[in-house]
A and B are shown apart, each in its own frame.
Chain A
Amino acid sequence: MEEHEAFVTRAGPDALWRNGGPALTALDIELTERCDNRCIHCCINRPEHDREAQSRELPTGRVLEVLDEAAALGVLGLRLTGGEILLRNDLEQIYLHARRLGMRVTLMTNARGLSSEFASLLAKVPPGEPVEITAYGMHRESYEAVSRVAGSFEEFKRGLALLDAHAIPHVVKGTLLPPTLDEMEELEAWAATRPVVRQRAGFIYWLDLRLRRDDERANERIAVLRLSPREGVAALARDPRARAALRAEALVQLGEPSDRLFTCGIGGRPCLDAYGMLQPCLTLRAPQLIYDLASGSLREAMTEFFPGLRTLRARDPEYLRRCARCFLAGICDQCPSKSWAEHGTLDTPVDYFCEVTQARAHFIGLLREGELPWDVIDGKERVKWLMQ
């Protein structure tokens, strides 16, 4: 027998594969679009008791079948999201099935409906990834101004107490909204003192419109709640490490501008929506880009359907004039998902995200006052400057 340094290697999923890896390693499942909060800013939520939506949700057995198929393809990382996943009364069954298949499960929840039984289960059979908790405010007034449900703050605190009592690792996320903008530091300080919180508290700075384009009035309200690019960057700049972090991100992500619609490895982490349609990612819901899993297979989606999307090119003249020539494209949130939500197309530039990207580029010194990034001709030199 050969000599071996170690028989057993501890490895993260990215370092696991010697020969390129399996067809699919990570999957998201949106178990429901219903939520027990009624946040105005949400891009997906439907009412908790929406019977029509509930009746269309995938039955337990079908979710388990998809998990089996995903495991056979190689999935080791599963993210369960919503809506609010705790509204599914089969969550425990789905969770245990995924864990028995060897998947590490990320649970995304507001924690309001967490039961002591489920918390006990998470302690006994750990998810393998921190539970991701969204905190809508640090005080009853601010939290319920966002959630718009009386009593929700107390339920949130109760859920967190259960996580603490069972020593279940979790991370806390906040969303920056007018009622909570002044609470960023408080949330960060609170999260840092919690005994089993992993990682620093994160924030959602830039809101999406309704991903299904299903509510024009809701979109108007979300637009009102959005931070302006200047406000958002000011909030980012509170953290003295933000500039260095954004520069590091830019170094990794900035590349040659292109008219390709997808520069993100589209389909690498697909999302099964609540009704059985497979999206290329968590947010993209343009009907022509999603795959009907009821009439196909996960393998076919991964090997035939999604790879075909990677060749799509933009046609919108404004996209070609701006985005396809923009040296900041790699750090811009502009993508078909945003264009679809805002304009119902795949390639109409979204001005909000363009302005956000320019504001961030000013902040890290990549863009000068008065410049338009698609007119910059020394973009490569500026990226080199970042490296120095």
Chain B
Amino acid sequence: MADAVRGDVVFTPSDAVVAREIEGEIVIVPLTAGVGDLEDELYSLNETGRDVWRLLDGRTLDEVVDALAVDYDATREEIDRDVRGLLEELLRRDIISAA
């Protein structure tokens, strides 16, 4: 999974989920069968996850990290590590896919 998360790859929300922002929370609902660990679960993202999710709009992973580096008080290395961690988790659950 980690090999698939490269800096030049664009990751986008899967067509098999619906993501909604409600009261500041990003809520992800599996739409079709076989998504996530259980089909009838909901997922929410933590604050870092929310910021990353909003940037999954056609940017590459590197561009996402660059955008976050403007606002976060952390090294680019740290940000890159966290973003990769999130994307790996989302990929594992089929919530995003590589474009």
Contacts and interface: CB of A to CB of B under 8 A. Distances in A.
Interface of A: 1-2, 4, 6-13, 16-22, 71, 74, 76, 99-104, 123-126, 128-129, 169
A92 to B, nearest CB: 15
B29 A11 contact: no
B64 to A, nearest CB: 13
Contact of A19 (B24, B37, B49, B78): B24
A104 B42 CA distance: 9
Secondary structure class of chain B's binding surface, majority of residues: mixed
Nearest to A12: B42
B8 interface: no
Interface of B: 18-20, 22-25, 27-33, 36-46, 48-49, 52, 68, 72, 74, 78-79, 82, 85-86, 89-90, 93, 95
A106 to B, nearest CB: 11
Given A17-B25, A124-B32, A11 B39 contact: no
A102 B36 CA distance: 14
B29 A74 contact: no
Given A1-B72, A11-B44, A19-B23, A126 B39 contact: yes
A16 B49 contact: no
A76 to B, nearest CB: 7
A125 to B, nearest CB: 6
A100 B31 contact: yes
B29 A125 contact: no
Contacts of A9: 43-46
Top 8 A-B pairs, shortest CB-CB distance: A102-B18, A102-B29, A7-B86, A1-B74, A7-B49, A74-B22, A128-B40, A102-B20
Contacts of B72: 1
B43 to A, nearest CB: 5
Contact of A2 (B36, B44, B48, B52): B48
Given A19-B24, A100-B18, A7 B42 contact: no
Contact of A128 (B27, B39, B46, B52): B39
B4 to A, nearest CB: 17
A152 B46 CA distance: 50
A71 B20 CA distance: 9
24 contacts: A1-B78, A1-B79, A7-B52, A7-B89, A8-B28, A8-B44, A9-B46, A10-B36, A11-B41, A16-B42, A17-B23, A22-B23, A76-B20, A76-B42, A100-B31, A101-B18, A101-B20, A102-B31, A124-B33, A125-B33, A126-B32, A126-B39, A128-B29, A128-B30
B18 A8 contact: no
Contacts of B31: 99-100, 102, 125
A125 B17 CA distance: 10
A128 B42 CA distance: 9
Given A10-B38, A10-B42, A71-B20, 7 more contacts: A1-B78, A4-B49, A7-B52, A11-B43, A76-B20, A76-B22, A125-B31
B19 to A, nearest CB: 7
